[in-house]
Amino acid sequence: MAGKVLTGKIDPSRIRLTEIPHLPSEIIEGFRELGDASSAVSDALDYIGVAGAVASSTLISVIPGATLVGHALTLRNMKRNGDIHLAARERNSQTAEVEAHNLAGKDDVLVIQGVAGISNMGGIGAQMGKRQGEVGAIIDGGFRDVADMRRLGYPVWSTERTPLTGKWRIEAVEINGPVTICGIRVNPGDLVVADDTGVCFVPIAHAAEVLEYARKKTAAEQRKSERIAAGASIVELAGGKS
């Protein structure tokens, strides 16, 4: 952890990595050039035999129309035991969202295996994250301060929204270790692609292969769309004889 100044919000032994792996910038930009890419990326994941897609009905975007491409910076939370009201009076927080933002950099996505019914992230954290270079967050669990996220232009995809603070209800277990998001295993550095259709998690080792397939898929669909607009018959489009 040399060179990293930590906030002390979590035991350093619970931080697996202070710097996550990053893909070459041309791969990140390649995915961004695809636009709303989750469908093509999901098809590519099917092709290579990797489960990684989650529907937007499960992970819902707080900013309609937003897209996101970046590297997973992971945080795993669990529900905390003890007297919530005593913890609140004593200001005894065991969350570590701030430490995660502290470790974030350009093109990172905060990916939280969170707690249901409780906020795992709020508006102040989003402001910190955006300043650090984060492009958004994915949360299996709740978050709050919806208006702040929209005002900041910090997109979040989550399973829940709630005003109930996690400060006294959540304990941070680990930063930058493996997490499970809606049944999908995500490792730090994995590629995250999200839009209005859904969220895809691409293992970093497969990112270049997925990009190549997604480009071909997008180009083929564009050609077919142009043929539809030009008046090609359904039989022609289906590959049959006219």
pLDDT > 50? residue 1? no
For the chain, what are the domain ranges?
12-214
- Distances in Å between the Cα of 165 and the Cα atoms of 45, 51, 79, 125, 182 are 36, 32, 12, 13, 22
Mean pLDDT value of segment 58-87: 97
Show binding-site residues for Mg(2+).
145
Q: How many CB atoms lie within 10 A of CB 51?
A: 12
Q: What's this model's pTM, rounded to 2 decimal places?
A: 0.94
For 12-214, CATH number out of 3.30.70.980, 3.40.1190.20, 3.50.30.40, 3.40.50.2300 equals 3.50.30.40
Show binding-site residues for substrate.
144
Mean pLDDT value of segment 181-195: 98
What residues does 137 pair with on adjacent strands? 110, 156
- Please report which confidence band the pLDDT of residue 241 belongs to, taking 50, 70 and 90 as the band edges: very low
Show binding-site residues.
144-145
Contacts of 169 (CB under 8 A, 6+ apart): 79, 80, 84, 115, 118
Mean pLDDT value of segment 71-99: 96
